[in-house]
């Protein structure tokens, strides 16, 4: 039984990543058997009621019929991506039922908000849910444009913080802001906001840069708290925070920058992430360690990064990266090269000693 959201979250990330890479022509064709099997297995994880045990304990046996926005959004995202990838309609009826019930609930709700967990509403998850409804609806020729317009209007109205960004947490009944904008939620919601309203996404991204972007010679990234805020704040949503820079805010910031065409931010962030990930022939070490510690899943961090790095970029406008490369990237690259040379030198010495012993004998 799944004790947390990580199994379904990671599986949905895999399906969304595969959808972008393969369904939109960026992956090798045809899909390799091991990839096809991974897609099939991920869909099974999403569909398995066992992966919903953590929300069933919170909401009761009717957990699929009211609120529970985060989990139901992941169902819609996963099933829609799987169907577009494979043309398999195995989960279509379930997806369609969830789409219609969640859309109706959000449309009728004050401020179009409902809770993720009892008494906890995170607006970024609601926006992702509306994007999921649009994705699922396209498979049936159904659109939820009024709901998409409504949630953007709320984000620019009742849920607009002094930083010009949607709130991190709100009261779903009163629309009151409980916690202001943070780096992790803003980077995350921007990834899907461009699918609902490209203009609003660009405006929010500009505000995100003004209040959260920290660009230096050695390292760049998105802060977890706004400039002038608490540099040490850190929780499970933010991931590790170093010098005020949030790991989740910066990792999802890659996708947020890509969907609005800001390659001047996406490129250096990607370079830093790859350098900091300790790349090896066997995978990325650092995301694997963090995924294991946080969710007992080695691949979670790696697939989350791939999801962010594979987000589609707009064709109409973009800001190219012209440099410079953050100095941290060069420093880590030099460290990896030095470490490799030391290992090679050590092996060469052992080989020479073996040759000398053989020659002397």
For residue 311, tell me if it sits in a domain: yes
Is residue 152 located within the same domain as residue 236?
no
Is residue 170 located within the same domain as residue 189?
no
For residue 172, tell me if it sits in a domain: yes
The tens digit of pLDDT for each residue in 213-249 reads 999 899 999 999 999 999 989 998 998 999 999 999 9
For residue 160, give its domain range: 1-176
For residue 276, tell me if it sits in a domain: yes
Is residue 271 located within the same domain as residue 192?
yes
Is residue 136 located within the same domain as residue 2?
yes
Q: How many CA atoms lie within 13 A of 83 on its CB side?
A: 21
The tens digit of pLDDT for each residue in 68-103 reads 999 999 999 999 999 999 999 999 999 999 999 999
One-letter-per-residue 3-state SS of 115-134: CCECCEECHHHHHHHHHHHH
pLDDT tens, N- to C-terminus, the chain (361 residues): 456 788 899 999 999 999 999 876 666 667 888 888 999 999 999 999 999 999 999 999 999 999 999 999 999 999 999 999 999 999 999 999 999 999 999 999 999 999 999 999 999 999 999 999 999 999 999 999 999 999 999 999 999 999 999 999 999 999 999 999 999 999 999 999 999 999 999 999 999 999 999 998 999 999 999 999 999 899 989 989 999 999 999 999 999 999 999 999 999 999 999 998 887 776 776 766 666 666 566 677 888 899 999 999 987 889 999 989 999 999 999 998 998 899 899 999 999 999 888 888 6
For residue 113, tell me if it sits in a domain: yes
Domain boundary among 128, 161, 176: 176
What backbone phi and psi angles, to 5 degrees, belong to 233? -65, 135
Taking the alpha carbons of 95, 101, 104, 106 in that order, is the dihedral positive or negative? negative
For residue 344, tell me if it sits in a domain: no
Structural domain total, the chain: 2
For residue 40, tell me if it sits in a domain: yes
For residue 90, tell me if it sits in a domain: yes
Is residue 166 located within the same domain as residue 270?
no
For residue 168, tell me if it sits in a domain: yes
Is residue 17 located within the same domain as residue 165?
yes
Tokens 């708290």, located at residue: 225
Domain boundary among 154, 176, 198: 176
């Amino acid at each position: 039984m799944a004790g947390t959201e990580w199994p379904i979250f990671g599986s949905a990330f895999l399906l969304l990543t595969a959808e972008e890479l393969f369904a939109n022509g960026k992956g090798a064709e045809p899909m390799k058997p091991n990839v096809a099997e991974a897609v099939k297995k991920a869909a099974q994880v999403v569909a398995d009621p066992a992966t919903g045990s953590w929300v069933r304990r919170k909401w009761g046996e009717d957990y699929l019929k009211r609120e529970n926005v985060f989990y139901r959004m992941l169902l819609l995202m996963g099933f829609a991506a799987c169907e577009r990838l494979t043309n398999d309609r195995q989960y279509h009826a379930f997806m369609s039922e969830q789409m219609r019930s969640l859309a109706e609930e959000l449309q009728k709700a004050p401020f179009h908000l409902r809770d993720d967990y009892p008494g906890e509403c995170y607006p970024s998850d609601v926006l992702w849910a509306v994007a999921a409804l649009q994705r699922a609806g396209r498979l049936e020729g159904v659109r939820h444009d009024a709901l998409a317009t409504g949630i953007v209007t709320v984000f620019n109205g009742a849920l607009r913080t002094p930083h010009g960004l949607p709130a991190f947490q709100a009261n779903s009944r009163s629309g009151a802001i409980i916690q202001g904008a943070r780096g992790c939620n803003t980077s995350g919601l921007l990834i899907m906001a461009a699918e609902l309203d490209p203009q609003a996404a660009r405006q929010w991204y500009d505000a995100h840069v003004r209040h959260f972007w920290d660009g230096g010679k050695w390292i760049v990234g998105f802060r977890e708290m706004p400039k002038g805020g608490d540099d040490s704040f850190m929780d499970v949503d933010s991931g590790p925070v170093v010098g005020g820079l949030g790991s989740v805010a910066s990792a999802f910031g890659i996708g947020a920058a890509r969907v609005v065409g800001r390659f001047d931010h996406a490129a250096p962030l990607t370079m830093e992430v790859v350098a900091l990930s300790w790349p090896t022939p066997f995978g990325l070490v650092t995301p694997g360690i963090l995924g294991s510690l946080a969710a007992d899943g080695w691949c979670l961090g790696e697939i989350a990064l791939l999801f962010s790095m594979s987000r589609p970029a707009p064709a109409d406008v973009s800001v190219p990266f012209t440099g410079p490369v953050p100095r941290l990237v060069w420093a880590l690259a030099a460290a990896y090269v030095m470490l490799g040379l030391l290992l090679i030198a050590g092996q060469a010495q052992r080989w020479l000693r073996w040759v000398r012993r053989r020659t002397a004998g």
